[in-house]
Chain A
């Protein structure tokens, strides 16, 4: 069974840092593109970052460039999002998501982690 288990959310002051983790199981992690998507309270889904299966290619939403870093450890089946210089407007539930091998969609999602910047 494919599982994405998230950890690392919480409260942080503006300007602070936080690291989100997404521990995966039930599939060959190293074969899949992974993404982070967030959702501010009462708002829609917003893509944050993308990382290719071998970490060669990363892409960031404009708001994340220079402040967020997506990374992965294929040996540990682990996806990470390091966030720094956090702003009040970064308050959101952050989801990790798997991309299937032959499509640009996201077929499995983590349970979400709430990040509150205040």
Chain B
């Protein structure tokens, strides 16, 4: 089955840039989506189709891909960005939706 690999945790100081990676075989051919989940809340879509932002999501959130890795970048990090972040693709070979294991972003 298809696997997406994320680092368990990323720490960053306020005002700095956080980069959360998501690795998977041939991820370049997949549309990658990113979600933010604060404790006790439902996930919120922050980036879809690799690098698009839903309305209402700050421009500080951006997505990119290179090789077998997709990256969510959070610029000018704020305390309110502290949350778990998940990447997601639809694996067409199995017709299964796949989530990465999640990355806890800690704002120092």
**What residues of chain A have their CB less than 8 Å away from a CB belonging to chain B?**
35, 37, 44-47, 50, 59, 61-62, 95, 100, 103-107, 109-112
Q: Counting CB contacts under 8 A, is B54 at the interface?
A: yes
Cβ of B33 and Cβ of A104 under 8 Å apart? yes
Q: Which A-chain residue is minimally distant from B30 (CB atoms)?
A: A104
Cβ of A103 and Cβ of B48 under 8 Å apart? yes
- Nearest CB in chain A: distance from B7 CB, A: 13
Q: Please classify the interface of chain A as helix (H, G, I), strand (E, B), loop, or mixed, using the class held by over half of its residues.
A: loop
Q: Which A-chain residue is minimally distant from B48 (CB atoms)?
A: A105
Cα A101 to Cα B101 with chains together (Å): 26
Q: Which B-chain residue is minimally distant from A95 (CB atoms)?
A: B42
- Nearest CB in chain B: distance from A58 CB, A: 10
Q: Which residues of B contact A109 (CB under 8 A)?
A: 42-44
- Nearest CB in chain A: distance from B46 CB, A: 10
A44 and B42 contact, Cβ closer than 8 Å, known pairs A103-B31, A105-B48: no
B interface residues, how many (CB within 8 angstroms) = 25
- Nearest CB in chain B: distance from A14 CB, A: 26
Cα A107 to Cα B54 with chains together (Å): 8
List the 10 shortest-distance A-B pairs measured between CB atoms, nearest first. A47-B97, A105-B33, A109-B42, A105-B48, A44-B102, A104-B90, A45-B99, A59-B95, A107-B45, A44-B101
- Nearest CB in chain A: distance from B6 CB, A: 9
Cβ of B98 and Cβ of A47 under 8 Å apart? yes
Of A46, A104, A111, the residue contacting B99 (CB under 8 A) is: A46
Q: Which residues of B contact A62 (CB under 8 A)?
A: 1
Cα A37 to Cα B89 with chains together (Å): 13
Q: Which residues of A contact B95 (CB under 8 A)?
A: 50, 59
Given contacts A37-B97, A106-B33, 9 further A-B contacts (CB under 8 A): A37-B99, A62-B1, A103-B33, A103-B49, A105-B33, A105-B45, A105-B49, A107-B45, A107-B48
Q: Counting CB contacts under 8 A, is B61 at the interface?
A: no
- Nearest CB in chain A: distance from B11 CB, A: 19
- Nearest CB in chain A: distance from B102 CB, A: 4
Cβ of B88 and Cβ of A105 under 8 Å apart? yes
Q: Which A-chain residue is minimally distant from B86 (CB atoms)?
A: A45
